Amino acid sequence: MTLPPDTIQSWAEALDQAEQERKPIAQFSASAEGLTIEDSYAVQRAWVGLKAARGRRIIGHKIGLTSRAMQLASGIDEPDFGILLDDMLHYSGAKLAAEAFLTPRLEVELAFYLKAPLQGPGVTLFDVLSATAWVAPALELIDARIALEDASSGRRRTVIDTIADNAANAALIIGGQVKPPEAVNLPRVAATLHRNETIEASGVAAAVLGHPALGIAWLANRLAAHGEGLAAGEIVLCGSFTAPVAARAGDSFFADYGDLGTLAVHFS
């Protein structure tokens, strides 16, 4: 199925309104038969376009569904991606209002900052490492402008909905130690995520496609199909290596990345 332009635009506007009013909307996947992943990316691009028209600036990309278990659960065989905008970026020690989001959850990731562009097809792991200026600990705040579950039927939203919803991205928090990629054994980076002094999640970066830089290579090659690439100066979140942890008003989070340092965020 290829969505008509007016439907793409109206769905993008519905997502925009849902975020601003903090009221989730019905699942797109339940309203039309035969929706494709490319339809979802068209809606995502249209929504980002609305934000750009208001002056928001693209600063990078995020990658999701990088674990095989999550792909199988979502019924797909590849990761997904979304767009990072300038007002999403926060740093360790930030205080965020929980009420500014609908269902905020945190995931443990690594942020890659590119010093050179990456244009597919054919981008490799080694191309990504050569193009990366630094890596740093990051938490991605994911959210759901499209309802996670339909109240009447109990139907869970699908990857079609998630991709249109900017791959669930809402914010990112960067902190810890900034290091060049050659100074870090990236697949062996391990982290624990504490919520109010209790460890709620832990993981190792090898869970991201075997090597976190492979997610960036996948994205550069995936974007090539649209005549796009990754630009120098972009931040790219490689994908989570923990399960998401819900964030509530009053919660304080502390992520410990060992030699890569720590970062913290509080929700008021």
- The DSSP symbol for 230 reads B
* Strand-pair partners of 135: 112, 179
Per-residue pLDDT of 75-93, as tens digits, reads: 555 789 999 999 999 999 9
Residue of 51, 15, 46, 11 whose CA lies nearest to 31:
11
Look up residue 155 and give its DSSP letter: P
Q: In whole numbers, what is the pLDDT of the chain averaged over residues? A: 93
The string of pLDDT tens digits covering residues 29-55 is: 888 778 899 999 999 999 999 999 999
Of 65, 43, 68, 40, the residue nearest 160 (C-alpha): 40
What is the set of domains in the chain, with CATH numbers? 57-267 (3.90.850.10)
Stretch 42-69: mean pLDDT: 92
Instruction: Lowest mean pLDDT of 53-62, 64-73, 76-85, 159-168, name the range.
Output: 64-73
pLDDT value for 137: 98
The Cα–Cα gap between 4 and 162 comes to: 20
Residue that has been written with the tokens 């699908």 in this structure: 158
Separation of CA 3 from chain center: 24
Instruction: State the virtual CA torsion across 73, 128, 226, 122 in degrees, nearest 10.
Output: -100
Q: How far apart are CA 72 and CA 147, in angstroms?
A: 21
> Helix, strand, or coil here: 144?
coil
What is the predicted pLDDT for the residue at 76?
55
- CA atoms of 98 and 185, how far apart (whole Å): 34
Percent of the chain at pLDDT > 90 equals 83
DSSP assigned state of 161: H
Share of the chain above pLDDT 70, in %: 96
User: Is the predicted pLDDT of residue 155 greater than 60, yes or no?
Assistant: yes
Greatest Cα pair distance in the chain:
52
Predicted TM-score (pTM) of the model is: 0.93
pLDDT at 104 over 60: yes
